[in-house]
Structure 1
């Protein structure tokens, strides 16, 4: 098939359709990009549900408070996520210090919601102690929501998740509205990028450097709610199921 069933557009040269269920493989580092309304968060919620069914421990730094079933649905306008437990950062830290099982539980499913609303260094400092606990446990999926709000201030910690913790079983998902929201040293470690339309030439050039011209070109005028997958390492490209 050479055209999308949903929108009727032809696939760009070098782009294949992706229709089979997918799950991250060992040492895969993932970046999910899309502006508000693109479906980025909805897509991640579907993957979280699948990963939970597979028995993976899942934690999300839930800046938007929408990845747990007890989150903020904005008056019913948002579909909430599948994570079973919602804790604010202070609640999570207090409970973890009182009983480490909340962190170590094999099937943990926790949305960790910041109570600091200012973007930048204050938000990063608020989140930093949480990461120390999650990184120490290993063997978990860790999602970083709305990274453009604090990523530059947590670059060393994010780099550790992307470049070092795969051997400990940590699978990071970096979510941002645009690629520049993910620090460059972290972005260079990403093996798989899933992105909606990127309207700015500068954003597409940034992605072309790591994931190829065909991938970047596909994002120039992508259909609504259409995501493309780009890979930076051949072994991950070879493993993508396309039929």
Structure 2
């Protein structure tokens, strides 16, 4: 029997993989789906999201990122050439963004807007959250866009209400949020409950894996605890589907 070949790495595919239908185009979340992307520094989490942004941007989506690490725009900080920058065309600090909106919000409402918004407050927690809130009010009012929340472990619990609104209410307005964090606890629990797809690399702490098992299943959580080689950039995808309680009738 002829062995299948992976189009990306040109390596033979195991028999069990060949029996699974493979995507022939880049994977994309469904409309209105909430996505959580988890991985520690060096796992490839940001690299993966940059590729998704490039794909979504090329297909006409308006894209915004709360760019805490200043790496998602073409003009970001590449750390002396050691970091691949993202595809977003415009880089603005939070004060620059708010000042520009005061003059005209046309650039925000542009059908192909592509903006990385870089905080100038670096203290984690409420100070960073308060700095970001005015930006979210503007983006939420726009609707019909992708919003990436970078490095949520630095401010997520302090923005619970705003993040829940993005996850639980704004799908009908066409907002597609991506929640990026080094570990699941960086994404508030009520927000995680709204996530339909979790993409994660290896997670070392058993308590973190248990957080994910409740919504995405034990096999997914157990896979995240399997030790891998330092240069292995494997990500697993877990899916959650809402379960509705039956209403008894008389």
| TM-score, normalised relative to structure 1 | 0.89
Greater RCO (CA < 8 Å, at least 6 residues apart): 1
- Counterpart selection for 1:230 from 229, 233, 238: 238
- Counterpart selection for 1:121 from 119, 126, 149: 126
Report the RMSD for the aligned CA atoms in angstroms.
2.4
Counterpart in the other structure of 2:50: 45
Aligned length: 231
Distance 1:220 1:7 in 2: 26
| 1:199 and 1:220 in contact (8 A); partners too | yes
- Counterpart selection for 1:180 from 176, 185, 188: 185
Structure 1: stretches of 5+ with no match in the other structure: 236-243
Q: Which has the larger radius of gyration?
A: 2
Structure 2: stretches of 5+ with no match in the other structure: 1-5, 244-250
Q: Deviations over 1:115-138 (max 9, x none)?
A: 001111000000000000000000
Distance 2:66 2:85 in 1: 15
Matched, 1:142 2:147: yes
Runs of 4+ in 1 over 3 A off after TM superposition: 4-12, 15-20
| 1:93 and 1:130 in contact (8 A); partners too | yes
- Counterpart selection for 2:135 from 130, 137, 149: 130
TM superposition shift of 1:21: 1.2
Counterpart in the other structure of 1:24: 29
Distance 2:242 2:161 in 1: 26
The 1:229–1:18 alpha-carbon spacing in structure 2 relative to 1, beyond 3 Å, is farther
TM superposition shift of 1:97: 1.4
TM superposition shift of 1:102: 1.7
Q: Deviations over 1:132-156 (max 9, x none)?
A: 0000000000000000000000000
Partner of 1:68, secondary structure, is: coil
